[in-house]
Structure 1
Protein backbone atom coordinates (compact mmCIF):
# COMPACT_ATOMS: atom_id res chain seq x y z
CA UNK A 1 0.00 0.00 0.00
CA UNK A 2 1.39 3.42 -0.95
CA UNK A 3 1.98 5.90 1.83
CA UNK A 4 0.26 9.26 1.46
CA UNK A 5 2.60 12.24 1.52
CA UNK A 6 2.11 14.50 4.54
CA UNK A 7 2.96 18.13 5.14
CA UNK A 8 5.87 16.79 7.19
CA UNK A 9 7.18 14.99 4.10
CA UNK A 10 6.49 17.92 1.79
CA UNK A 11 8.54 20.41 3.82
CA UNK A 12 11.54 18.12 4.18
CA UNK A 13 10.62 16.12 7.27
CA UNK A 14 12.69 15.83 10.40
CA UNK A 15 15.65 17.88 9.18
CA UNK A 16 13.50 20.89 8.28
CA UNK A 17 11.57 20.87 11.54
CA UNK A 18 14.81 20.43 13.49
CA UNK A 19 16.29 23.51 11.78
CA UNK A 20 13.13 25.58 12.40
CA UNK A 21 12.99 24.65 16.08
CA UNK A 22 16.72 25.22 16.59
CA UNK A 23 16.45 28.70 15.05
CA UNK A 24 13.39 29.43 17.20
CA UNK A 25 15.26 28.49 20.40
CA UNK A 26 18.23 30.65 19.40
CA UNK A 27 15.83 33.57 19.69
CA UNK A 28 14.23 32.34 22.90
CA UNK A 29 17.63 31.93 24.58
CA UNK A 30 18.20 35.67 24.62
CA UNK A 31 14.62 36.83 25.07
CA UNK A 32 13.96 38.66 28.33
CA UNK A 33 10.24 37.82 28.28
CA UNK A 34 10.33 34.17 27.22
CA UNK A 35 13.55 32.80 28.71
CA UNK A 36 12.29 33.02 32.32
CA UNK A 37 9.41 30.71 31.37
CA UNK A 38 11.86 27.85 30.83
CA UNK A 39 12.85 26.56 34.27
CA UNK A 40 15.59 24.32 32.90
CA UNK A 41 18.99 25.95 32.57
CA UNK A 42 19.54 24.05 29.33
CA UNK A 43 16.95 24.72 26.63
CA UNK A 44 17.88 21.44 24.93
CA UNK A 45 15.12 19.33 26.51
CA UNK A 46 12.48 21.95 25.64
CA UNK A 47 13.80 22.04 22.09
CA UNK A 48 13.50 18.25 21.81
CA UNK A 49 9.93 18.30 23.15
CA UNK A 50 8.85 21.06 20.77
CA UNK A 51 10.57 19.41 17.81
CA UNK A 52 8.94 16.07 18.54
CA UNK A 53 5.55 17.74 18.94
CA UNK A 54 5.82 19.52 15.58
CA UNK A 55 7.12 16.39 13.87
CA UNK A 56 4.09 14.47 15.07
CA UNK A 57 1.62 17.29 14.44
CA UNK A 58 2.66 17.62 10.81
CA UNK A 59 2.52 13.89 10.07
CA UNK A 60 5.85 12.44 11.13
CA UNK A 61 6.62 9.79 13.74
CA UNK A 62 4.53 9.82 16.92
CA UNK A 63 7.53 9.97 19.26
CA UNK A 64 6.02 12.87 21.20
CA UNK A 65 2.87 10.97 22.22
CA UNK A 66 4.78 7.77 22.85
CA UNK A 67 7.05 9.56 25.32
CA UNK A 68 4.76 12.22 26.78
CA UNK A 69 1.18 11.17 26.12
CA UNK A 70 -1.47 13.55 24.82
CA UNK A 71 -0.04 17.04 24.13
CA UNK A 72 -2.47 18.88 26.49
CA UNK A 73 -0.85 22.13 25.41
CA UNK A 74 -2.92 24.54 27.51
CA UNK A 75 -2.49 22.40 30.61
CA UNK A 76 1.28 22.15 30.11
CA UNK A 77 1.54 25.93 29.69
CA UNK A 78 -0.90 26.82 32.50
CA UNK A 79 1.82 27.31 35.17
CA UNK A 80 3.33 30.12 33.09
CA UNK A 81 2.02 33.64 32.63
CA UNK A 82 1.35 33.74 28.88
CA UNK A 83 0.06 37.17 28.01
CA UNK A 84 -0.18 38.93 24.63
CA UNK A 85 3.36 40.30 25.05
CA UNK A 86 4.75 36.78 25.55
CA UNK A 87 2.69 35.55 22.59
CA UNK A 88 4.13 38.29 20.39
CA UNK A 89 7.70 37.52 21.46
CA UNK A 90 7.08 33.82 20.78
CA UNK A 91 5.69 34.61 17.33
CA UNK A 92 8.60 36.96 16.56
CA UNK A 93 11.09 34.12 17.09
CA UNK A 94 8.98 31.62 15.20
CA UNK A 95 8.61 34.05 12.30
CA UNK A 96 12.41 34.38 12.16
CA UNK A 97 12.73 30.59 12.18
CA UNK A 98 10.26 30.20 9.32
CA UNK A 99 11.95 32.99 7.38
CA UNK A 100 15.19 31.05 7.70
CA UNK A 101 13.59 27.82 6.43
CA UNK A 102 13.44 26.88 2.78
CA UNK A 103 9.66 26.60 2.50
CA UNK A 104 7.43 27.49 -0.41
CA UNK A 105 5.14 30.47 0.21
CA UNK A 106 2.21 28.06 0.55
CA UNK A 107 4.03 25.88 3.08
CA UNK A 108 5.15 28.95 5.01
CA UNK A 109 1.58 30.24 5.11
CA UNK A 110 0.23 26.91 6.35
CA UNK A 111 2.86 26.62 9.08
CA UNK A 112 2.44 30.27 10.10
CA UNK A 113 -1.34 29.93 10.24
CA UNK A 114 -1.03 27.01 12.64
CA UNK A 115 1.52 28.64 14.97
CA UNK A 116 -0.34 31.96 15.13
CA UNK A 117 -3.53 30.17 16.16
CA UNK A 118 -1.64 27.97 18.63
CA UNK A 119 0.13 30.97 20.16
CA UNK A 120 -3.16 32.78 20.67
CA UNK A 121 -4.64 29.64 22.23
CA UNK A 122 -1.83 29.58 24.82
CA UNK A 123 -2.63 33.09 26.11
CA UNK A 124 -3.93 32.58 29.63
CA UNK A 125 -3.92 36.11 31.06
CA UNK A 126 -4.47 39.66 29.85
CA UNK A 127 -3.13 41.24 33.04
Structure 2
Protein backbone atom coordinates (compact mmCIF):
# COMPACT_ATOMS: atom_id res chain seq x y z
CA UNK A 1 0.00 0.00 0.00
CA UNK A 2 2.83 2.37 0.93
CA UNK A 3 4.68 1.67 -2.35
CA UNK A 4 1.50 2.29 -4.35
CA UNK A 5 1.02 5.66 -2.67
CA UNK A 6 4.66 6.55 -3.41
CA UNK A 7 4.25 5.65 -7.10
CA UNK A 8 1.07 7.69 -7.32
CA UNK A 9 2.86 10.67 -5.80
CA UNK A 10 5.65 10.36 -8.37
CA UNK A 11 3.07 10.12 -11.17
CA UNK A 12 1.64 13.50 -10.09
CA UNK A 13 5.09 15.11 -10.01
CA UNK A 14 8.00 15.58 -12.41
CA UNK A 15 11.69 16.05 -11.64
CA UNK A 16 13.36 19.23 -12.87
CA UNK A 17 17.06 20.11 -12.81
CA UNK A 18 17.53 23.81 -12.02
CA UNK A 19 20.42 26.02 -13.14
CA UNK A 20 22.04 25.60 -9.71
CA UNK A 21 22.24 21.83 -10.27
CA UNK A 22 19.49 21.10 -7.76
CA UNK A 23 16.93 18.45 -8.73
CA UNK A 24 13.40 19.14 -7.50
CA UNK A 25 10.00 17.44 -7.55
CA UNK A 26 7.36 19.78 -8.99
CA UNK A 27 3.68 19.09 -9.62
CA UNK A 28 3.04 18.28 -13.27
CA UNK A 29 0.28 20.92 -13.62
CA UNK A 30 2.46 23.83 -12.41
CA UNK A 31 3.40 26.75 -14.66
CA UNK A 32 6.90 28.23 -14.76
CA UNK A 33 8.92 30.96 -16.44
CA UNK A 34 11.90 29.65 -18.38
CA UNK A 35 14.80 32.08 -18.24
CA UNK A 36 14.52 35.48 -16.56
CA UNK A 37 11.25 37.20 -15.70
CA UNK A 38 10.82 40.55 -17.46
CA UNK A 39 10.69 43.96 -15.75
CA UNK A 40 13.10 42.98 -12.99
CA UNK A 41 13.42 46.60 -11.82
CA UNK A 42 9.68 46.98 -11.14
CA UNK A 43 10.28 46.75 -7.39
CA UNK A 44 12.47 49.89 -7.45
CA UNK A 45 9.72 52.13 -8.84
CA UNK A 46 8.49 55.10 -6.77
CA UNK A 47 4.81 55.14 -5.86
CA UNK A 48 4.90 58.94 -5.64
CA UNK A 49 2.22 59.54 -3.03
CA UNK A 50 0.57 57.92 -0.03
CA UNK A 51 -2.71 57.40 -1.88
CA UNK A 52 -1.17 55.13 -4.48
CA UNK A 53 0.20 52.80 -1.81
CA UNK A 54 -3.28 52.75 -0.24
CA UNK A 55 -4.70 51.63 -3.61
CA UNK A 56 -2.30 48.68 -3.35
CA UNK A 57 -3.65 47.88 0.17
CA UNK A 58 -0.36 48.95 1.80
CA UNK A 59 -1.22 50.55 5.13
CA UNK A 60 0.83 53.34 6.76
CA UNK A 61 3.77 52.30 8.96
CA UNK A 62 3.27 53.66 12.48
CA UNK A 63 6.14 53.59 14.98
CA UNK A 64 5.49 51.69 18.19
CA UNK A 65 6.73 54.69 20.17
CA UNK A 66 3.93 56.83 18.75
CA UNK A 67 1.21 54.40 19.89
CA UNK A 68 -0.61 54.07 23.18
CA UNK A 69 0.65 51.58 25.76
CA UNK A 70 -2.27 49.24 25.04
CA UNK A 71 -1.32 49.07 21.35
CA UNK A 72 2.44 48.40 21.55
CA UNK A 73 5.09 47.54 24.18
CA UNK A 74 6.99 50.74 23.22
CA UNK A 75 3.92 52.96 23.52
CA UNK A 76 2.77 55.26 26.29
CA UNK A 77 4.84 57.37 28.65
CA UNK A 78 5.14 61.14 28.94
CA UNK A 79 6.58 63.01 25.98
CA UNK A 80 8.93 61.08 23.74
CA UNK A 81 10.31 58.81 26.45
CA UNK A 82 11.21 55.36 25.16
CA UNK A 83 11.47 53.74 28.56
CA UNK A 84 14.15 51.19 29.32
CA UNK A 85 12.70 48.38 27.20
CA UNK A 86 14.33 46.11 24.65
CA UNK A 87 12.98 46.33 21.09
CA UNK A 88 9.83 44.24 20.77
CA UNK A 89 7.21 43.46 18.17
CA UNK A 90 3.62 44.60 18.82
CA UNK A 91 2.98 41.08 20.20
CA UNK A 92 5.81 41.27 22.75
CA UNK A 93 8.32 39.02 20.98
CA UNK A 94 11.94 40.26 20.81
CA UNK A 95 12.90 42.19 17.70
CA UNK A 96 16.56 42.59 16.68
CA UNK A 97 19.41 41.44 18.97
CA UNK A 98 19.84 38.16 17.06
CA UNK A 99 16.48 36.64 18.03
CA UNK A 100 15.92 33.71 15.66
CA UNK A 101 12.50 33.46 14.03
CA UNK A 102 13.04 30.55 11.65
CA UNK A 103 12.27 26.95 12.60
CA UNK A 104 15.27 24.66 13.10
CA UNK A 105 16.01 21.87 10.62
CA UNK A 106 13.16 22.54 8.23
CA UNK A 107 13.40 19.80 5.60
CA UNK A 108 12.25 20.47 2.05
CA UNK A 109 10.69 17.25 0.77
CA UNK A 110 10.57 18.54 -2.81
CA UNK A 111 14.38 18.58 -3.16
CA UNK A 112 15.62 15.28 -4.59
CA UNK A 113 19.29 16.27 -5.05
CA UNK A 114 20.45 19.43 -3.22
CA UNK A 115 22.62 21.98 -4.99
CA UNK A 116 26.39 21.80 -4.57
CA UNK A 117 27.60 24.41 -2.09
CA UNK A 118 30.95 26.27 -2.05
CA UNK A 119 31.44 25.45 -5.70
CA UNK A 120 33.45 28.52 -6.68
CA UNK A 121 35.50 28.88 -3.50
CA UNK A 122 38.95 27.40 -3.26
CA UNK A 123 39.27 25.12 -0.24
CA UNK A 124 42.11 25.81 2.19
CA UNK A 125 45.09 23.49 1.94
CA UNK A 126 44.29 22.35 -1.61
CA UNK A 127 45.92 25.12 -3.69
The structure where strand makes up a greater share of residues is 2
* TM-score band, normalised by shorter chain: under 0.3
Structure number with the bigger relative contact order (C-alpha 8 A, sep ≥ 6) is: 1
